[in-house]
Amino acid sequence: MAIEKEKLIEMYRTMVRIRTFEERVAKEFAEGNIPGFVHLYVGEEATATGACANLRPDDYITSTHRGHGHLIAKGGKTKRMMAELYGKKTGYNKGKGGSMHIADMDIGIIGANGIVGAGIPVAGGAALSAQMRETDQVVICFFGDGATDTSRFHEGVNMASHWKLPVVYAIENNLWAMSTRTSAVRNITRLTDRAAAYGIPGVTVDGNDVLAVYEAVGKAVARARRGEGPTLVECQTYRHRGHSEGDPGTYKPKKEVEEWMKRDPIPRFEKKLIEMGVLTEKEASEINQAMLKELDEAVKFAEESPLPDPEETLEDVFA
């Protein structure tokens, strides 16, 4: 598969942007600058990046409680995301949503979601809308391994497969549902075994290999655009941090963590790009520096932005 150099570099930049954003959020959260709770995407960057690299600006995504990576990969601006995390008026949701509800309908982000699996039926509805309006938009529906155990997975995928809706289910199998190893609560290990129940294709890929994700989701997106219906893509990845910040993740075996750290998607992709002659070490370092600077600016923007007027609580209930 030949991918243009610019596209490869853009994918690398997106992965670094996500990592830098999340690490900065961890720091600001620990220092008490971010209210509520945050679930970080560190370690899973290749999945959102590889999947969304197949989308157009007018395509849709539905996201999850661990959503920052999806939003950045779909074009979300770190400044406005950070402002939302700070509860500021300039945030994507004017301070009404926070980390778990960031949305931007202008770039097709139908929201992060605080309820596991809730995006599955909503993604189907957006795909139905695209089908009925006769556009060729597609929807990528992101969710974790845990969401495949919810009843809405069955209802949503059954409906979408029957109506051949243009949706791609990107499962992020990070092995852990909060602090429960998911193999301890499920009878199958390959989540794409579930695809057979709906008569749709299912493909399991290395979710820490951005190009493997890009290729697999690319095929699924093309199939969806052709009107042939949904695909289940299981991306096997790993959550580096705890379930949410404040959870040290001590239940994860040390050996398992070490193994997965060796497969960290960012150094891996960087090495590959350097080997391919697409990127030099110097350029990689420049990208990392640029992202640190972007995040400094994002935090500054968030800090300096005005808080919402308390009376704004009463707005936006009804159209």
Partner 1 sequence: MKKISVRQAQVEAIDEEMKRDSSVFVLGESVSTFAATGIFAGLVDKYGPKRVRNTAISETAILGGAIGAAVTGMRPIASLMSCDFMGVCGDELINQLQMRYMFGGKAKLPLTIVASSGAGVSGAAQHSKTLYGWFMSIKGLKLVVPSTPYDAKGLLKSAIREDNPVVMLAHKMVGRLTSEIPDEEYTIPLGKADIKREGSDVTVVAIEFMVHRALAAADKLQQKGISIEVIDPRTLVPLDKQTIINSVKKTGRLVIISEEPMTGSAAGEISAIVAEEAFDFLDAPIKRICAPDTPVPFSPVLEKFWMPSEERLIKAVTEIT
Q: Total binding residues for partner 1 by CB under 8 A?
A: 46
Sites for partner 1 among residues 150-179 (CB under 8 A): 151-152, 155-156, 158-159, 162-163
Place of tokens 């969401």: 147
Residue from 13, 23, 37, 96 touching partner 1 (CB under 8 A): that is: 96
| Shortest distance in whole angstroms from residue 147 CB to partner 1 | 12
Reading phi first (left if > 0) and then psi (alpha if -120 to 50, else beta), residue 249 is in left
Q: Cβ of 1: how many Cβ atoms within 10 Å?
A: 6
Shortest distance in whole angstroms from residue 149 CB to partner 1: 14
Whichever of 98 and 207 has its CB closer to partner 1, that residue is 98
**Which position among 12, 41, 60, 301 is part of the footprint of partner 1 (CB under 8 A)?**
60
- Selected from 1, 2, 184, 317, the binder of partner 1 by CB under 8 A is 317
* Footprint on residues 125-144 left by partner 1 (CB under 8 A): 125-130, 132-133
Residue among 91, 202, 242, 265 that touches partner 1 (CB under 8 A): 91
- The nearer residue to partner 1, 14 or 113, going by C-beta atoms, is 113
Q: Could you say which of 13, 77, 94, 164 contacts partner 1 (CB under 8 A)?
A: 94
Residue 131 CA to residue 261 CA, distance in Å, equals 41
Please report whether residue 82 would count as binding partner 1 according to CB under 8 A. Answer: no
- Residue 83 in contact with partner 1, rule: CB under 8 A: no
- From the list 123-131, 223-231, 252-260, 279-287, the region that binds partner 1 by CB under 8 A is 123-131
If the CB atoms of residues 118 and 216 are measured against partner 1, the closer one turns out to be 118
Identify which of residues 58 and 297 has a Cβ nearer to partner 1 in the complex. 58
- Contact residues toward partner 1 (CB under 8 A) are 60, 62, 91-97, 101, 103-106, 110-111, 113-115, 118, 120-130, 132-133, 151-152, 155-156, 158-159, 162-163, 315-319
